[in-house]
Amino acid sequence: MEDFPRQHARTRRFSCGAPRTVSVADDGSRVLFLRSASGGDPVNSLWCLDPASGEERLVADPVDLLAGGGDESTLELSRRERAREVGEGITAYDGLPDLSRVCFVLAGRVFLADVDGGRVVELASSADAFDARLSPDGASVAYVSGRSVRITGAGGDQRLIGGTTPTVSWGSAEFVAAEEMGRMRGHWWAPDGGSLLIARVDEAPVDEWWIASPVEPWSVPRAIRYPSAGTANADVGLGLVTLEGTVVDIDWSRGGEFGYLADVRWEEGPPPTLVVQSRDQRTLAVLEVDVSTGSTREVYRIEGDDWVELVPGAPCRWAAGLVTVEDRGGARRLVVDGEAISPDGLQVRRIVGVDGDRMVVCASTDPLDIDVVAMDRDGSVEVLASGGGVHTAAVGGGVLAVSVADLEGSRLSVGDHLVASFAEEPVVDPVPAFHVVGERDLRAAVLFPAASSGWDGSPLPVLLDPYGGPHAQRVQRVRGQFLTSQWFADQGFAVVVVDGRGTPGRGPAWERAVRGDLAGPVLEDQVDALHALAGADQRLDLDRVAIRGWSFGGYLAALAVLRRPDVFHAAIAGAPVTDWRLYDTHYTERYLGHPDEEPANYEGTDLCAEARSLARPLLLVHGLADDNVVAAHTLAFSRALLEAGRPHRVLPLSGVTHMTPREEVAENLLLVQLDFLRESLEI
């Protein structure tokens, strides 16, 4: 039987073959989704499902469309990195509201599909296309090519507008918008199809960094523009561009008050709506655009003492009202025209959309689960999908498509119809035991070796396996959260996973407890949970404790052995942020403030400054092609450790980004970690 590290890598973390990227037509006539042909096939095709009959039809198959092969554009690869996209083939699409016609990009080429007729045609393009968007009449496609926006269709392919200098581009989201704000796009069609709102990004103010490939010393390093904390962001403008090429500049910064363009919406009826944030993220405003003059009018404002959270799907329109999601009291609540309508105990995670007279949202009362609920204007709540696990949805025309990830696996259903999944079943079977521990009611999960492992119940070395930071949870009733943890458990560990302060799902105060200090509270919660769990279960051996993590989890792992060598005896830090001054503006300044104004927050969380404290085995792992947490974090930390005379190990991953999608790397990286843990803990 294939072992787990190989299967986990080959199936792209079991994402291959599973239905994903679901859309429902506004009239409920059809549901579109992506899916590959098997659990080992990463190439996604476009499928259509009839909500009435449950019949599935193949709309577009990349294998047929790309008989001659082809490579994705640099911009498309960057989009996939920002979106943590591990699939291939069709990974995104855009369509008419009724989804009768859609467009997508393959290998830099633009395709247009008539969903019901089954006809797919390639449109003329520049061959390096990215982010295709269908016009409201379905006849033309706008797409990004290099630093320009082009339009293709029956009239041929032509450039609409483009950058005039090497640092200026039109139509793409800047780095922090895509990486941190969830805005992956930079151009939006007018409802009448006569113009587009297009973002103009000038990266000249942003520091230029270089990503080199040391295994190819003859290759030229790749230049990136990286806005690290306290430095200049890209200069982002917004223009109303007609099909004739005339441009009306949009005044969205309002005299410099707002530094971030977080979202743009242009729907039938109301004027274009912009969501903007101040640089310190303590103010968020909703602006309406006068398309004739480019002026904007502020229609709503939210202010917070620490920051104002960006919530997917919000703000939006509901009948004549403006819907926002705001932190009111102890909850993140649904607000209509300034009035909170969702109950105080419900944490709204995402707005799905409007379905008739109801607003459909993803929300939770228990951080371990996310439900899909519908809300009326009077605040009444109807649960549409629940029962444990994480539920997400797409809605339209009275049809609800629900994706569920729980301890049984994952599945997509449309009404009574279950969409076929070709994803493989993992060779490990996670059995997490969930706990609420300590004076802060920390959510934790513990995994022990499978019954078939031959474990006799004697005390086990402990491996903490957290993420532990903002914007991500690990302790949820979701099988996929614990597959790797269970594999480590089956190798002879008691694996502990803890969500501490700063993680989502427990309300605004819980998330804001890390403001000014991304080190102390998160580490304290890991230690408190570990001790509480070990105090109640003698099978956890506190004389042999290790910790591993990636990204923020890597930072937490390194922090643990630096500050608490009395608790942690070894650590594996993957792609760790070691100096927050080297991480991006939008994320870092939200939690630590501007480094010129609050320097102590950066000094107190800098791992390099604590290098002399290392007294335990530490393995640092970093992809040298990482353009999110750049390799300089690990290299600077390693230098500080060496200068302090502290032995450690560094594993550089050549050609690897912040993700590790390459099968051989992903597989063997788990095995290398296991060997390090066994050696360090003398197992």
Q: Where are the domains of the chain?
A: 433-680
**Pick from 295, 297, 292, 338: which is nearest to 315 by CA?**
338
pLDDT band, very low/low/confident/very high, at 309 (cuts 50, 70, 90): very high
CA-to-CA distance for 621 and 244, rounded, in angstroms?
51
φ, ψ of residue 413 in degrees (nearest 5)? -130, 145
For 99-246, list the strands marked E by DSSP: 101-106, 109-114, 119-123, 129-134, 140-145, 148-153, 158-162, 168-170, 187-189, 195-202, 208-211, 222-225, 235-242
Among 557-561, 594-598, 663-667, whose mean pLDDT is lowest? 663-667
Contact residues for 638 (Cβ-Cβ < 8 A; gap 6+):
620, 648, 650
83: pLDDT strictly greater than 80: no
pLDDT band, very low/low/confident/very high, at 626 (cuts 50, 70, 90): very high
Q: Do the Cβ atoms of 30 and 49 come closer than 8 Å?
A: yes
What confidence score (pLDDT) does residue 66 get? Answer: 85
Q: How many of the other CB atoms lie within 10 Å of CB of 547?
A: 32
pLDDT band, very low/low/confident/very high, at 70 (cuts 50, 70, 90): low
| Number of Cα atoms under 13 Å in the Cβ half of residue 308 | 23
pLDDT band, very low/low/confident/very high, at 659 (cuts 50, 70, 90): confident
69: pLDDT strictly greater than 80: no
Q: What percent of the chain has pLDDT over 70?
A: 99
Helical (H) or strand (E) element with 622: strand 618-623
Q: Got the DSSP string for 456-521?
A: -S--EEEEE----STT----SS-GGGSHHHHHHHHTT-EEEEEE-TT-SSS-HHHHHTTTT-SSHH
| Alpha helices per DSSP H over 73-219 | 74-82, 175-176
What confidence score (pLDDT) does residue 661 get? Answer: 63
Q: List, for residues 386-408, the tens digit of each pLDDT value.
A: 999 999 999 999 999 999 999 99
Q: List, for residues 226-275, the tens digit of each pLDDT value.
A: 999 999 999 999 999 999 999 999 999 998 999 999 999 999 888 999 99
Cis peptide before 217 (omega within 30 of 0): no
Single-letter code of the amino acid located at 660: T
68: pLDDT strictly greater than 70: no
What confidence score (pLDDT) does residue 454 get? Answer: 83
CA-to-CA distance for 486 and 419, rounded, in angstroms?
28
User: Superfamily for 433-680?
Assistant: Alpha/Beta hydrolase fold, catalytic domain (3.40.50.1820)
What confidence score (pLDDT) does residue 269 get? Answer: 86
Which DSSP state fits 613? G
What confidence score (pLDDT) does residue 487 get? Answer: 97
What confidence score (pLDDT) does residue 137 get? Answer: 96
Q: List, for residues 120-144, the tens digit of each pLDDT value.
A: 999 999 999 999 999 999 999 999 9
The packing angle between helices 552-563 and 520-536, to 10°, is 70
CA-to-CA distance for 392 and 388, rounded, in angstroms?
12
320: pLDDT strictly greater than 80: no
582: pLDDT strictly greater than 90: yes
CA-to-CA distance for 44 and 35, rounded, in angstroms?
5
530: pLDDT strictly greater than 90: yes
CA-to-CA distance for 366 and 445, rounded, in angstroms?
15
Q: What is the pTM of this model?
A: 0.96
Average pLDDT, the chain: 95
What does the radius of gyration of the chain's CA atoms come to, in whole angstroms?
A: 25
Rounded mean pLDDT, 477-496: 98
Q: Is the Cα dihedral 530, 531, 537, 538 positive or negative? A: positive
Q: List, for residues 501-521, the tens digit of each pLDDT value.
A: 999 999 999 999 999 999 999
662: pLDDT strictly greater than 90: no
